[in-house]
Amino acid sequence: MANYYSLLGVDKNATADEIKKAYRKLAHEHHPDKNHGDKASEAKFKEINAAYEVLGNAQKRSQYDQFGSSGSNPFGGSAGAGGGFQDFGQGNFNFGNMDFGGVEEMFETFFGGNPFGGSAGGFGQGQANRTRKKGVDLEVELNVTLQEAAKGVAKVFKHKHKVNCNACKGKGYEVGSSRKQCPTCHGRKTVYQRVQTIFGTVQQEIVCPTCNGNGETFDKVCQICHGKGFEETVEEINLDIPVGISSGQRLKVPNKGEAGYHGSDPGDLYVLINVKEDKKLKREGMDIYSSVEINYIDLLLGTNAKIETVWGVVEIKIPALTDPSKELRLRDHGMPKLSNSNVKGDHHLKIKIQMPTSLSKAQKELLESVRQENK
């Protein structure tokens, strides 16, 4: 039996979320609908699915860890990759004791719904009414400088998204339009379509494409949106970037996602922050690191130096006979804490010795006399 952890590319100590993420990525990559006629991808897809059916279930994973990857297969089926799943597409697969959590999540990812017509709990429970579906959430990426992340900044950017049609308020038809039952779904608002899967052909319940989930059709569609219920717009978004923010963090802008279905609430906009790398300053958590070149004479005798920080240029004193191997620390000159801007990290300064490219005769004689004194 193949090693299921290796099949999914995860460590044996991986968390459930890490396993799920790895499974979804591989399943999407090797899905038969994306690799028509590719037998190798089809076989790989079956192996991936078999691995997740075990590792995605806490009880089965515990049994698998106990029995190991050699010897008998405690989950039944042959000892080849995907043991117990050898009957895919043959019409005799046993669904009796199978946990469909992972499989249904996969269909939710690829097809937007559960092809078995029920909720994640199993068969026959009925599809949720989707006709008042909230709009889709959107995500955009926004770049900020390191200095902007330290001090906070107000950003303005253009954002293109769908909004409910103002003329019909998202309904898709004109006021006073006569209505009749949809001839496609007969008022049910949803229809079934056949989907070819690794289990064979199954039915998937989808929103009726004729009436868009209304259950009714109208003789006068909106002339502005042509029955779609939405229109595209570009608007300016004003967003306050909080001090101390880091790359990868997201800010939520409510109701700026896509328009809601038939006038329902719109989705939200999530702004993914990317703090651009600075050429001179390096960030590690709340601390900042940089270097400064000091002339070897100044390093011996002491001097003042101007240092660039995230808060601007500051002047510091370099003591005489400073050891260049030791870092200087500027306390509270680092990044502020996101949850408490009064708390700041430090700025760590590394000194680089600036050596002359040549020496005059007088300089050589002077340095030689200094060397003689130190003998």
Asked whether residue 58 is assigned to any structural domain, the reply reads yes
Task: Specify the number of domains making up the chain.
Answer: 2
CATH number at residue 327: 2.60.260.20
* Contacts for 303 with CB less than 8 Å, ≥ 6 apart: 294, 295, 317, 318
Q: Output the pLDDT for position 346.
A: 98
Asked whether residue 356 is assigned to any structural domain, the reply reads yes
Q: Output the pLDDT for position 316.
A: 95
CATH number at residue 84: 1.10.287.110
Choosing from 94, 115, 137, the residue where a domain stops is 94
CA 259 from chain centre, in angstroms, equals: 22
197/208 Cα distance (integer angstroms): 21
Asked whether residue 267 is assigned to any structural domain, the reply reads no
C-alpha count within 13 angstroms, C-beta hemisphere, residue 142: 29
Asked whether residue 196 is assigned to any structural domain, the reply reads no
Asked whether residue 216 is assigned to any structural domain, the reply reads no
Asked whether residue 209 is assigned to any structural domain, the reply reads no
Q: Output the pLDDT for position 102.
A: 45
Q: Output the pLDDT for position 203.
A: 79
CA 185 from chain centre, in angstroms, equals: 37
3/314 Cα distance (integer angstroms): 58
Q: Output the pLDDT for position 134.
A: 84
Element holding 84 (H helix, E strand): none
Asked whether residue 67 is assigned to any structural domain, the reply reads yes
Q: What tens-digit pLDDT sequence spans the chain (375 residues)? A: 568 888 899 988 889 889 999 988 888 888 776 776 777 878 888 888 888 888 888 888 887 776 554 333 434 443 333 333 333 333 333 333 344 444 444 444 444 444 444 433 333 333 434 445 788 999 999 999 999 999 999 999 999 999 999 888 888 888 778 888 889 999 888 898 887 766 677 778 888 888 777 788 888 888 888 888 889 999 999 999 999 999 999 999 999 999 987 778 899 999 999 999 999 999 999 999 999 999 999 999 999 999 999 999 999 999 999 999 999 999 999 999 999 999 999 999 999 999 988 989 998 999 888 888 887
Choosing from 94, 125, 158, the residue where a domain stops is 94
CA 209 from chain centre, in angstroms, equals: 31
Asked whether residue 81 is assigned to any structural domain, the reply reads yes
Region at 302 (left for phi over 0; alpha for psi -120 to 50; beta for the rest) = left
Q: What is the pTM of this model?
A: 0.57
Q: Give me the domain span that covers residue 56.
A: 4-94
Q: Output the pLDDT for position 67.
A: 59
Choosing from 56, 79, 94, the residue where a domain stops is 94
